[in-house]
Amino acid sequence: MEEDCCATQLIYGDGKFNAGGLDRFVKEVKLAECGISYGVVAIVGPQSSGKSALQNHLFTTQFANSRRSQTTNGIWIAKCVGIEPCTIAMDLEGADGRERGQDDTFKVQSTLFALAVSDIVLINIKGYSFFADGMLEKKLTWQEAYLKWSISEREIPLLETFFQVVMSFGIPRKTTLLFVIHDNAKPPFQHWHPGLRKFILNLLFSTALEKIWNEVPKPQAHKSTRFSDLFSEEVVVMSSYEEKEKFKEEVAQLRQRLSPGMLFAGYRRGLVPASGFSFSAQQIWKVIKENKDLDLPAHKVMVATVRCEEIANQIFNQLTYDTGWLALKEAVQTGPVQGFGQRLSSILSTYISKYDTEAIYFDSGAWYSKRQLLESKALDFVYPAHTTMLGHVRSKALEDFKVRLEQSLNEGRGFASYVRICTHSSMLEFDKGCADAALQQANWDASRVREKLQRDVDAHASYICSAKLLELIFNYEKQLSISLTGPVKSLLVTGGKDTWASIRKLLNHETEVAISKFSTVVADFELDKATIAKMLQHLRDYSRFSTVLNYDSDTTLRVWTGKEDITSITKDARSASMKFLSVMAAIRLDEKPDNIEKVLFSSLMDGAVIVSSSQDREIGASVDPLASSNWEEVSAKNTLITPVQCQSLWRQFKVETENSVTQAISSHVMAATGRCEGIANQKFSQLIFDEDWLALEEAVQIGPVQGFGKRLSSILSNYLSKYDTEATIYFDEGARNSKRQLLESKALDFVYPAYTTMLGHVRSKALKDFKVRLEQSLNKGRGFATYVCICTHSSMLEFDKGCADAAVIQANWDASRVREKLQRDIDAHASSVCSAKLSELNVNYEQQLSASLTGPVKTLLESGGKDTWASIRKLLNRETEVAISEFSTVVADFELDEATIAEMLQHLRDYSRNVVEKKAREEARKIMIHMKDRFSTVFNYDSDSTLRVWTGKEDITSITKDARSASMKLLSVMAAIRLDEKPDHIEKVLFSSLMDGDVTVSSSQDREIGASVDPLASSNWEEVSSKNTLITPVQCQSLWRQFIAEIENSVTQAISAHVMAATARFEEIAIQKFSQLILDEDWLALEEAVQIGPVQGFGKRLSSILSTYLSKYDTEATIYFDEGARNSKRQLLESKALDFVYPAYTTMLGHVHSKALVDFKVRLEQSLNKGEGFTLSVRTCTQSSILEFDKGCADVAIQQANWDASRVREKLQRDIDAHESSICSAKLLELNFNYERQLSASLTGPVEALLETGGKDTWGSIRKLLNRETEVAISKFSIAISDFELDKETIAKMLQHLRDYSRNVVEKVAREEATKIMIHMKDRFFRVFNCDSDSMPRVWTEKEDIRSITKDARSAALNLLSIMAAIRLDEKSDNIEKVLFSSLMDETVTVSSSQDRRIGASAYLLASSTWEEVSSKDILITPVQCKSLWGEFKTETESSVTEAILAQEAYKQSNNWLPPPWAIMVMVVHGFNQFMLLLK
């Protein structure tokens, strides 16, 4: 046999499951690669009924078989050779074996196991001859005899076991029982018409099974269950094994029937994908052995969950090491990556698709759940890279904003508009970058990063705005100073009567001019009115104050030399300004006295000029007189500036004039500044090397430090106090305080990193505690949102406490950003946990919905009643609302927003709908089975559910029409999903198009149905969307034709009694017309012409000849006989005539084919000679030749036949493809040869060297070398072969060929080296025996232990023999070395020939031609050969040992002249002459 069936014992006789054997079987037959395209066929029956023999013939297996005693023990499995898709045969132990006595436990368990895992169960029965004997002896009727003896007493217990197991355990399938009956004798009806014989046997056998079924005790749930509800039975009658030729022919017919039609035509339920078959079978047997209830749907979910999780983990591990991902991750750490989102989405999609490919056939709930977990896990894994990418996008957008704004401002005015434009551009750029970084699989929100960018943009714009405004104010202050200083000085020098009036006029004019220009310029900044008003008032105050402050009483510009009383001068200047304010506070045209000036001076002027910020507090202590909106003695209409406004203006005035005062006193502190700065630098240098600070800094790098803020504050206070001590006694307070502030600021900047590190520790601890508390809280019960709030509050309090402990007294550092980061991390973790919990909850309710909907929907669809879809809709709505109600109650604990809850509830609704739709689609795929079951029920049973017996009184036409109508009704129900209550006309269209009211059994029915198929010539139903279409109109038409064809036989058998007499006469007329046809002159001439070459108009001429004889048949037959029989024989005549002329038709097609092929070759050669592209030339020439062939086929076509020329067309296509393939094959062969030579060169030498050295891990090194060189060659070969545009499968085969070739090279070298094993063994022996451990030649003194040395040398040689004994390229362990040493090495080294006898006594393990655990193809030296080689080796090395012994004895004889004892023994045994010969 070319293919091994790999027969394996699955379950031993003691009930032990052979898990290892099953795993090896799955691996050897490559079952895991089959997906769902595999089947299981089990055979049961009495002992010695020929079960194993039948399977061996039927499936080309190699089960042991015997005709007299038990051969099958337990359960065996094997691969059915030559059947595709992959089919597994299962052979069970005989049901009535006497070896188990009365114990039927294993029989029940094995039967249940077979039903649970098999698609079809064959029941082998021997004893068909009882029927004939009983009928003849007792003169019984056919039916009575068969009911009595058709199923013998041996088979009844087996069938009862089957029935009880199915009812007890609820096998979720309608099991097909295929009875195979062997007849040792020949009953009288064996020569009946095969169709009638099959009908009678099926009828009588069904009656017998019904009788057994009715007598079997039934549980309450199956009291009213009929046999046909759980089983569909078929009967096959076969000849005995003695009639070999006939038996083989019948086996071939049964094999064709089972391969693969019955296996894959819809009988399968609850299928487990092939990759999970091993695990599923083990779990099923475990449940059966433990005597538990076998819930196969739940078992399927369990298997799916385990396998899907394994697949998901495997895929995730592959993702983490994906080279594309690692390269992308590394690139994004460096900078932004173009197309980041698309590349990462592609990587994730690849691995998700891999998961779908491997897990798609498992339970949808488990598949989807684990898919979601895999996707979530993968997204969590890549999220850091995504956030890094967003950081790059944000940084780039911010940098571009700064550049654009700077460029825009350099071009001119319009600050606010430029800020808006640049901000808009940068935000658009950021959004574009986010879109480029977005992943298809995730809906991550970049709004926080966008908000951070917006804040950064706003901060930078605000900073630039402030800088520009300060620069602008400075310029106008400078302009005012220039425009006022000179004129005021001149006016004061002249000292005229109206000096101050002139100064006021000048002041007002210059101030208004400056303010006008300033207002125009500042309008570009689009500031609010209050801000602009303050800035304008500042300019007014500046212009007035500078005139008083900068000139003395002699109108001379002041020069600050240090002698001036700056405090007094400042007070006078402010008093002048206060005087001006009091004058402007009210209109005084009525000469009424007022106290405005007094109130202002008493409230706002305190007699001392205090420059520090405490001034505000001192003023604030006496502001009560100004806490009013009116002046006393002044009416409201004369009030210009209210008391409150005066108070506000004075404060603003003091702030804005502070700079001038500071400039005036700066000369007093310049000397002090240098000295204070030196002291500050000295103290800062001492601080950075302070031991306490260094210890604190080191500690905080390791972890959180208790009392960090207090310790750090103490250190800073120490150095600030030292500064105060040294600086106070020497220097001005202002300078001292300024430099003290700089020292403090510099010190705080220096220690700030340690502070941020400490905050990081506090944040990490708070986050960790949050996670722990949340997990502990959730383990206690429900209330997710509440627990999150409590744990968040606790963690934030803990963080605030840690921040307070880390706070430094000298600084007012803000920890809000770290706190916000902690809050974001907490929110992220809570969101992650929430998502996981919600996902788990969602999966549970999906499983609940699936369980509550699948079974009832299946039952409703199989029943196919009038209101099927209305009932399904009602069921769907009820179960969905129940689940949603429960789900809403549970999910309320999560306190989600209404939109999210609504989305989740809608998901559940969609899922429940999908469950119904999925089940509908599954049942639609089995529509043919349901239609045949419905037809069989209506056709074979009357209205009282009694089995029909065809007596001739029944109206077969009406019954057939009713049965077909019932099947048609079921087809219309299954044609589309109707969950939306929309009306449709599917049933009406099907009945009007496919049901014609006449029941015609002949093949002409197909043509009659075909006459009205126009409404079904579409792929869509009207009023039904494509997504709700289960079976298209075209498919309905095809299914109906198939259905009609498959039930034809049943109808034919029913009416065969009506037409038996007419059949013979019609057959005579048909034979007569056929005889006339074959001698027709026109036909003979046409046949002769077509043998020579193509005949123009062949089809038309032949159609005319056939029509003539069919018309003659109609003329003679119409006046005599029944139409049904007449049409039947007419069809047979037509079929026979067509079969007769078919060779001429095929010959004509051959001419058309040959001409098209020749034309293709000529055209292709011409195209290639012109230099056109090969693929394009092939495509063009192929299209031309195929068109030419189609035109020729149309001319050859015969009206009476619908012969399919597709095979010849395919043959033409194959010939064209072969011709095309031959052109590129030469190049591929040359390329393949070069790489084979390269592999041979790179492997042969190293493998020879490794085998000759014979190290400890010789074969491990060879495997490593083989893998490395093979992968290098394959990598190069893949690059070279990519230019040929071959399909993936071909490339894979060529790559596999290279792998096989490299393996063959190694095996060939190993076999060559094995032929030299004796040479290598002797070399190894002599190296160890004749040289010591230092590789020095031995000198045989009395100190050497020759026995031990000999043993070591032989052990080394034997180790080399064990290495060379077998090829070990598959990493399988073996016991070759152990067997050789235990069998060939003994404790003592005896040189005499008796040693061989002792070795032979213990070497029975080597009396075999194979090694255990090693396949025959991998054996280099068999055990027998090893034994023989060892004997030869010992003989050839014996002399060396003897010489060593003699040398040692010679050394000893220096003090003893007598011969040694061994020499005396040799002389006694062999004689003196032989002894001397040995010495020579």
- Residue 79 and residue 24 in contact, taking contact as beta carbons nearer than 8 Å: no
Residue for token pair 């001590």: 725
What does the pLDDT read at residue 1401?
43
Residues 348-354, mean pLDDT to the nearest whole number: 89
Stronger pLDDT, 1421 or 1254, i.e. the higher one: 1421
Confidence of residue 1004 (pLDDT cuts 50, 70, 90): very low
Element of type H or E holding 951: none
Least confident of 93-102, 199-208, 657-666: 93-102
Residue 1304 has pLDDT above 90, yes or no: yes
Tell me the per-residue pLDDT of 76-85, one tens digit each, with 9 for 90 and over. 888 887 777 7
* Predicted pLDDT at 1120: 53
pLDDT tens-digit readout, 1168-1222: 677 665 667 778 888 888 998 898 888 888 888 888 888 888 888 889 888 888 8
Task: With a cut of 80, say whether residue 757 has pLDDT above it.
Answer: yes
Please indicate whether residue 1186 or residue 100 has the higher confidence score (pLDDT).
Answer: 1186
Q: What is the mean pLDDT of residues 872-889?
A: 89
> What are the structure tokens assigned to 1202, written together?
């619908």
pLDDT greater than 60 at residue 1013: no
Q: Is the pLDDT of residue 390 over 60?
A: yes
Residue 1218 near residue 1241 (C-beta atoms within 8 A): no
Q: What does the pLDDT average to over 481-501? A: 74
Residue 884: which of 911, 916, 909, 914 has the closest Cα? 909
Helix (H) or strand (E) holding 44: strand 38-44
C-alpha dist (Å) from residue 858 to 410, 880, 910, 920, 924: 77, 17, 19, 8, 10
What is the distance between the alpha carbons of residues 313 and 307, in angstroms, rounded to a whole number? 10
Poorest-pLDDT segment among 87-91, 249-253, 490-494:
490-494
pLDDT surpassing 60 at residue 142 = no
CB 774 within 8 A of CB 837: no
Q: Which of 114-118, 336-340, 478-482 has the lowest mean pLDDT?
A: 114-118
Judged by DSSP in three states, 1365 sits in coil
- Higher per-residue pLDDT: 70 or 1102: 1102
Q: At 431, is the pLDDT very low, low, confident or very high (cuts 50, 70, 90)?
A: very high
Asked if residue 495 has pLDDT above 70, the reply is no
614 has a pLDDT exceeding 50: no
Query: Residue 859 pLDDT more than 60?
Result: yes
Q: Are 934 and 962 in contact (CB under 8 A)?
A: no
Note every long-range contact of 485-488, with CB atoms under 8 Å and residues 24 or more positions apart, other chains counting. Answer: 485/546, 485/550, 485/557, 488/547, 488/551
Read off the pLDDT of residues 1257-1286 as tens digits, 9 standing for 90 and up.
888 888 898 899 899 998 888 887 775 677
Q: Are 696 and 711 in contact (CB under 8 A)?
A: yes
pLDDT in tens, 1040-1065: 988 888 888 888 877 765 555 456 66
What count of other Cβ atoms lies within 10 Å of the Cβ of residue 856? 16
Under 8 Å between Cβ of 784 and 831: no
Task: For 1372-1389, write each residue's pLDDT tens digit.
Answer: 888 888 888 888 885 433
What is the distance between the alpha carbons of residues 607 and 622, in angstroms, rounded to a whole number? Answer: 13
Which of the listed ranges 206-210, 292-296, 609-613 does the model predict with the highest average pLDDT? 206-210
Residue 621 has pLDDT above 80, yes or no: no
Edge-to-edge order in the sheet of strand 120-126: 8-11, 75-79, 86-92, 38-44, 120-126, 175-183, 231-239
231-239 and 8-11 beta bridge pairing: unpaired
Query: Read out DSSP for 433-490?
Result: HHHHH--TT-----HHHHHHHHHHHHHHHHHHHHHHHHHHHHHHHHHHHHHHHHHHHH
Per-residue model confidence as pLDDT tens digits over 941-980: 877 777 776 654 567 788 888 888 888 888 888 889 888 8
> 21 Cβ partners below 8 Å, 6+ apart?
8, 9, 10
Per residue in 631-651, pLDDT (tens digit) is 888 888 888 888 888 888 888
| N- to C-terminal Cα separation, the chain | 59
Mean pLDDT over 730-747 rounds to 77
The reported pLDDT for the residue numbered 1172 is: 66
The answer to which of 424-433, 669-678, 1258-1267, 1367-1376 has the lowest mean pLDDT is: 669-678
Q: Cα separation of 575 and 287, whole Å?
A: 105
Report the DSSP pairing between strands 75-79 and 86-92.
antiparallel
Percentage of the chain modeled with pLDDT above 70: 79
Percent of the chain with pLDDT over 90: 4
* Average pLDDT score, the chain: 78
The owner of tokens 């969905």 is 880
Q: How far apart are CA 1063 and CA 1129, in angstroms?
A: 7
Lowest mean pLDDT: which of 212-226, 785-799, 1086-1100? Answer: 212-226
Say if residue 411's pLDDT is above 50.
yes
Q: Work out the widest C-alpha separation in the chain, in whole angstroms.
A: 170
Token pair for residue 1446? Answer: 């003699």
Determine the Cα–Cα distance for residues 619 and 604; give it in Å rounded to an integer. 6
DSSP letter (8 states) at residue 1014: G
Q: How far is CA 817 from the centre of its chain?
A: 40
Q: Does residue 303 have a pLDDT over 60?
A: yes
Least confident interval from 166-170, 939-943, 1002-1006, 1156-1160: 1002-1006
Higher pLDDT, 398 or 6: 398
Rounded Cα distance between 1003 and 1030, Å, is 28
Q: Write the DSSP symbol of residue 281.
A: H
Check: CB of residue 966 under 8 Å from CB of residue 938: yes
Question: What pLDDT is stored for residue 136 in this prediction?
Answer: 40
Closest CA to 18 of 93, 94, 75: 75
pLDDT at 47: 65
Beta carbons of 1419 and 1438 less than 8 angstroms apart? no
Which has the higher per-residue pLDDT, 87 or 45? Answer: 87
The pLDDT of residue 1267 is: 92
The pLDDT, as a whole number, for residue 714 is: 92
Residues with Cβ < 8 Å from 789, sequence gap 6 or more? none
* Cβ within 8 Å of residue 150, ≥6 positions away: 128, 130, 131, 204, 205, 208
